[in-house]
Structure 1
Amino acid sequence: MRSHLLNDTTAELYRSSVTEGIERVAAKLATTSRPFTGVTPDALSPTVDAVNLDEPLHDTIAALDELEDVYLRDAVYFHHPRYLAHLNCPVVIPAVLGEAVLSAVNSSLDTWDQSAGGTLIERKLIDWTAARIGLGPAADGVFTSGGSQSNLQALLLAREESKTEDLARLRIFASEAGHFSVQKSAKLLGLPPGCVVTIPVDKDKRMRTLALAAELERCKADDLVPMAVVATAGTTDFGSIDPLPEIAELCAQYDTWMHVDAAYGCGLLASRTRRDRLDGIERADSVTVDYHKSFFQPVSSSAVLVRDGATLRHATYHAEYLNPRRTVAERIPNQVDKSLQTTRRFDALKLWLTLRVMGADGIGGLFDEVCELAHQAWEVLAADPRYDVVVEPSLSTLVYRYVPATVTDPAEIDRANLYARKALSASGDAVVAGTKTGGRQYLKFTLLNPETTLDDIKAVLDLIAGHAEQYLGDTLDRAS
């Protein structure tokens, strides 16, 4: 119905509808006392299944009332200080404002004639980020949907720059603690199974450069082509940062594309106290950044940056109906010439408004706070005999496990930790993540909320211990 199209005649309906939605979300944020209700898929599915999408409600208030039941009531709220699970950050208000503006105007960032100033804003932010990294005057890049897409595009460029038609000879080198999108990207790029060579990590979960050097030399000896080395600046599980200067030296020695996956660690680009942890990133050929992880932006907000903007030509195709070749000579800036996507949201606006309101120091200060909290929490875990913590954090992630004093069976300890995580989530009191290291089950804090306190951390550790002990006690009762 035309009455719902956003235009000059429906501006008042737009204002009232959005205001009603904002009021409800604001009330929910103000009254949420825990990060999750603990609802299960089986419990919530019937409510969603009962909605007949072919019978509209014809009323915004009624639709929002229904939304409370199918989504808002049981949503996982990342703003809560005891949401400690994944790389999901609370978002800053200027970015949410940007989200509202970009959704209503609905620019598409593929061509100039669909975005105008949006194109220039995105390009300005790419230049700003490239300068923060130190990539040099020829650098360029483009916003993407997230780290996986950024990694895929970077490896596409690396494949094309290798100038090797025999894809079976190409090899990618990545840390065993690196992101799974490297393997997925290799498959999407038509590379053969086994083309990703996994490099072991040291005790701090950083890539072993001696092992990387040995693999690069073996690659050369076997007449294979080292297509790329993927260094990680902030692994998903440990927040570890690979030794970037040493990796850069090896990439130069073996004429290999150096990609840095800084999807998580990019927050250090705005840090006033920890920027040196990214030293060496300026020598990368490409870099992934996820502003929606450590710049406190709503999903999605990511980018891939390259040292040599000319390499982005490998993603360029010209269509007469969209970006004809003549527009290049006319110096018309079409972002689709650089992107794997065509239609694309103006996600850059969120970061633009954040920088214009808060400044880079404001963002960096928030990220420094969570890094400092992680260090304090590591000291608590290291001193607590109930827990084993894997590594001291480089960023804001902690991997640990509950170790009971009276149980020595590793498999039983695994089950106790799994149970504790599930029981904690079911209670809704807190949400933590889980992972495996050394074949054993561990728990994980990913601290991205500056409102989380050390007291929150201590309280959650007590809850985990309580759930684990309950499981072990019940197991002992059943056995007797």
Structure 2
Amino acid sequence: MKNKVQQWFLNSSEESQKSFMELMDKTVKLLIEENYRATNPYSGATRKDIEAKVKEITNITAGGQETDAVMNEIKKTVVRNSLWISNPSAMAHLHCPPLLPSIAAEVLISTLNQSMDSWDQSPSATYVEEEVLQYFIHKIGYGENADGVFTSGGTQSNYMGLLLARNHACQRHFSINVGEHGLPANAGRLRILCSEHAHFTVQQSAAQLGLGINSVVKVRSTENHQICLKDAQKKVAELHEQDLIPFMIVATAGTTDFGSIDYLTELAKMAHDNHLWLHVDAAYGGALLFSHQYRDLLHDLSEADSITIDFHKLYYQSISCGAFFVKDRKYFHHIAFHADYLNPEEDRKDGIINLVEKSVQTTKRFDALKVLMTFKLIGTDVFGEMIDSTIQLAKDTAELLQCSSQFEVLNEPVINAVLFRYLPDRHAENQLFVDEVNLELQRYFYESGKLIMAKTRQNGKVYLKFTMLNPLNTLRNMEIQIENIKKIGDIITEKKGERSNEYSVHF
């Protein structure tokens, strides 16, 4: 039995080493060959076809299968029907192509399998995470009292920002320790302010934290899709008049659709004057910390009480990888809990670091290694150039679209997102017609597998979106894609014009 099992675990035996090398070699070879083979970002397979194929390969047997047979099934069914996000024409969402150092680090992370909750499960990894966090704390401009923790991404980080702010507010306004006594009876008076373009996780977190979606007060945005400071001040005054308690304002440094960055300096002053916790969701825009040209857009980020940064967006890290930062580490006491078997209080007296004390997760991945290896191998100069090149390409693409009467561009790119819509000839004033054509355009290109772009709604209208994260994308590629959109848009318009009700376009 032992001889049969040991080949499936990494150990010093010859069988283990042979199995490990064989499986890793086959995996790497498969990925390289399929990447070369895949000229488009998607195969074009339908949902039903993929579902049927997946059902065929999930036949688990008692005795197992040969490696080549399994790898062949995975190749044909999973890999070939996955989204090749490294293809420059995959530009729908904040979904980045991972850098090679990050991919290599994933092998180390998975093989070492460190659990980042207690030091005795991650002896060196604990200090790597702490030092990487300190590097970013310095980059943000925080002082020596600041701290942070790696998270699964923006959702968890935003949740932690609201959690700490809520608990701090309950202590301040009601003298209640939520961790010990639960929410006070008057918690329903608490209010959170954010832009109408803030990420949905603000409302989601408020709901999960027992404050309710209605505790989130939406502030109007400017024409540049930034939070309106005057309206924010007005909302704060109105809440006080209603005997409600505004305790937090959430700023966004890189909105999902527009990449807009709120006025951080002015919001910091407003938060200070009104005793509000300022959380900055920089999940998207946090990478501008390394930009050579646009670093100033994050001026006064260090004034925030807490910050969200995602590394699996514009930092080109494999999913999942994010971080949460606080201006003062004392706020982590709101979530600290000591378990005798894991992080007893005597550990702290002995100077032992147990990261579980500042996380809402227990078992946590060693994701800091990906960030460390990336910057050690690539360096900050090249990384900054990568960021800047994608922003310039987005600006150039927006200009290309604006030069054609067949497109309406909704935003001047701040980071690298471009919102636009195709305008059918002779039907541009028919709102429903235009919406349906743009929806059909997005669907057609996804099903063709040639171009992956997103769709969204703004002011009740359907828009298409390029989220241009890939530094390997080119203006020539964008010229070709725009011409293709025009061509297919014309075909859809012509076919739809021949129908009076529902329509279907087949190519």
Into which bin does the TM-score normalised by the smaller protein fall? Answer: over 0.9
User: Matches of 1:467 and 1:332 in 2, distance apart?
Assistant: 62
User: Matches of 1:16 and 1:479 in 2, distance apart?
Assistant: 60
- 1:197 corresponds in structure 2 to 217
Q: Quick check: 1:175–1:200 contact (8 Å CA) kept in 2?
A: yes
Q: Indicate yes or no: 2:320 matched with 1:314.
A: no
User: Matches of 1:61 and 1:394 in 2, distance apart?
Assistant: 48
Q: Report which stretch shifted further, 228-237 or 49-58.
A: 49-58
- 2:181 corresponds in structure 1 to none
Q: Report which stretch shifted further, 11-20 or 98-107.
A: 11-20
Identify the match of residue 436 of structure 2 among 410, 415, 436: 415
Identify the match of residue 248 of structure 2 among 211, 228, 243: 228
Q: Indicate yes or no: 2:52 matched with 1:46.
A: yes
Identify the match of residue 362 of structure 2 among 317, 320, 342: 342
Give secondary structure in 1 for the equivalent of 2:199. Answer: coil
- 1:123 corresponds in structure 2 to 130
Q: Tell me how far 1:316 sits from its aligned partner.
A: 1.0
Q: Indicate yes or no: 2:9 matched with 1:8.
A: no
Q: Tell me how far 1:80 sits from its aligned partner.
A: 0.6
Q: Tell me how far 1:301 sits from its aligned partner.
A: 0.9
Q: Quick check: 1:233–1:263 contact (8 Å CA) kept in 2?
A: yes
User: Matches of 1:60 and 1:363 in 2, distance apart?
Assistant: 38
- TM-score where L is the length of structure 1: 0.98
- 1:66 corresponds in structure 2 to 73
Give secondary structure in 1 for the equivalent of 2:308. Answer: strand
Give secondary structure in 1 for the equivalent of 2:109. Answer: helix
Identify the match of residue 107 of structure 1 among 100, 108, 114: 114
Q: Quick check: 2:30–2:75 contact (8 Å CA) kept in 1?
A: no
Give secondary structure in 1 for the equivalent of 2:57. Answer: coil
1:21-420 counterparts in 2 under 5 A?
Answer: 21-55=27-61, 57-162=64-169, 163=171, 164=174, 165=184, 166-407=186-427, 408-420=429-441
Q: Report which stretch shifted further, 255-264 or 373-382.
A: 373-382
Q: Tell me how far 1:313 sits from its aligned partner.
A: 1.4
Q: Quick check: 1:418–1:441 contact (8 Å CA) kept in 2?
A: yes
User: Matches of 1:225 and 1:40 in 2, distance apart?
Assistant: 50
Give secondary structure in 2 for the equivalent of 1:214. Answer: helix
% identical aligned pairs: 35
Aligned residues between the structures? 480
User: Matches of 2:213 and 2:353 in 1, distance apart?
Assistant: 38
Q: Quick check: 1:421–1:464 contact (8 Å CA) kept in 2?
A: no
Show CA shifts across 1:6-36 (max 9, x none). Answer: 2222122112211110111011222320101
Q: Quick check: 1:271–1:365 contact (8 Å CA) kept in 2?
A: yes
Q: Quick check: 1:135–1:307 contact (8 Å CA) kept in 2?
A: yes
User: Matches of 2:289 and 2:500 in 1, distance apart?
Assistant: 54
User: Matches of 1:85 and 1:377 in 2, distance apart?
Assistant: 15
Q: Tell me how far 1:114 sits from its aligned partner.
A: 0.4
Q: Quick check: 1:237–1:399 contact (8 Å CA) kept in 2?
A: yes
User: Matches of 2:124 and 2:270 in 1, distance apart?
Assistant: 41
User: Matches of 1:227 and 1:466 in 2, distance apart?
Assistant: 52
Q: Tell me the C-alpha RMSD between the 2 structures.
A: 1.3
- Tell me, which stretches of 5 or more residues in structure 1 are unaligned? none
Q: Tell me how far 1:54 sits from its aligned partner.
A: 2.9
Give secondary structure in 2 for the equivalent of 1:288. Answer: strand
User: Matches of 2:481 and 2:416 in 1, distance apart?
Assistant: 16
User: Matches of 1:236 and 1:192 in 2, distance apart?
Assistant: 23
User: Matches of 1:220 and 1:59 in 2, distance apart?
Assistant: 69
- Tell me, which stretches of 5 or more residues in structure 2 are unaligned? 175-183, 502-507
Q: Quick check: 1:110–1:344 contact (8 Å CA) kept in 2?
A: yes
